[in-house]
């Protein structure tokens, strides 16, 4: 069965520090991969997505993610975190040709001033 794992439930970083949020997936083939962010009281917003091609994808708000097929991972990174990045982050996958997006359990990011 398809699954998405986000091993870190909570992460705390200092403002200005770098960030990496982990995402691993289990699929029969390369899925399409997404990162969404959910701020309190807000809907989920797409940060970036990977379909094919360059394995390093750039997103909004200075985020990037790297697809590593050998590790079945799609980790999200940001070089310098801002206090406004405090939110919950979800990794999601969908198999090509299907419509059922599977979400991970999320990583809640706290940013220290």
Partner 1 sequence: DTGVSQDPRHKITKRGQNVTFRCDPISEHNRLYWYRQTLGQGPEFLTYFQNEAQLEKSRLLSDRFSAERPKGSFSTLEIQRTEQGDSAMYLCASSLTEANTGELFFGEGSRLTVL
Residues in contact with partner 1 by CB under 8 A are: 4, 6, 9, 32, 34, 36, 41-46, 49, 51, 90, 92, 94, 96-97, 99-106
For residue 100, the minimal CB distance to partner 1 (Å) is 5
99/113 with CB nearer partner 1 = 99
DSSP 55: S
CA distance 85 to 38: 10
Compute the least distance from the CB of residue 73 to partner 1, in Å. 17
Residue 106, token pair as written in the block: 């999320």
Closer residue to partner 1 (CB): 80 or 96: 96
Could you tell me which residues are beta bridge partners of residue 77? Answer: 20, 64
Nearest to residue 66, comparing CAs of 53, 81, 76? 76
């Amino acid at each position: 069965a398809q699954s998405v794992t986000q091993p870190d439930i909570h992460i705390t970083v200092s403002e200005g520090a770098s960030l990496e949020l982990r995402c691993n997936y289990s699929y029969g083939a390369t899925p399409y991969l997404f990162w969404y962010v959910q701020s309190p009281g807000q809907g989920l917003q797409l940060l970036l997505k990977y379909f094919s091609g360059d394995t390093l994808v750039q997103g909004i708000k200075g985020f990037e993610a790297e697809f590593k097929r050998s590790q079945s991972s799609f980790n999200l990174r940001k070089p310098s975190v801002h206090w406004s990045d405090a939110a919950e982050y979800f990794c999601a996958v969908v198999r090509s040709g299907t419509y059922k997006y599977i979400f991970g359990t999320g990583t809640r990011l706290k940013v220290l001033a």
